Amino acid sequence: MAGQEQRERTFSEAEIKARLERELPHWWYESGWIRRKYKTHSWKGTLMAARAAHSKGRRPRITASPISSTTSLRDPGQASHRVTPP
């Protein structure tokens, strides 16, 4: 509906987990962070995964090892999503 104002809605932890399970099965919610682990074959692959995560502009927290990279995203105010009022 054109012209309707959008507002932000904060999701509960249960809603975040359910939505991730349904829409993004490789991601999980833990301690206020939405996380995903990428398995790599070498440091080069790990660094490429880390660089790609940073290039998205979300400033993720990245934990890296020679064979994996875990990307963690956090909304500064909590997980929120724009919704259109009914």
Residues 3-62 pLDDT 10s: 566 677 788 899 999 999 999 999 999 888 889 898 888 888 888 888 887 776 667 788
**Comparing 24-28, 65-69, 72-76, which segment has the lowest mean pLDDT?**
72-76
* Domain range annotation of the chain: 33-73
Per-residue model confidence (pLDDT) at position 78? 42
* Amino acid in position 13: E
**Nearest in space to 62 (alpha carbons), one of 78, 48, 79, 76:** 48
Per-residue model confidence (pLDDT) at position 56? 67
For 41, the token pair is 């074959």
For the chain, the first-to-last Cα distance in angstroms comes to 10
* Statement: residue 76 has pLDDT above 70: no
Q: How far apart are CA 30 and CA 85, in angstroms?
A: 29
Q: How far apart are CA 16 and CA 36, in angstroms?
A: 14
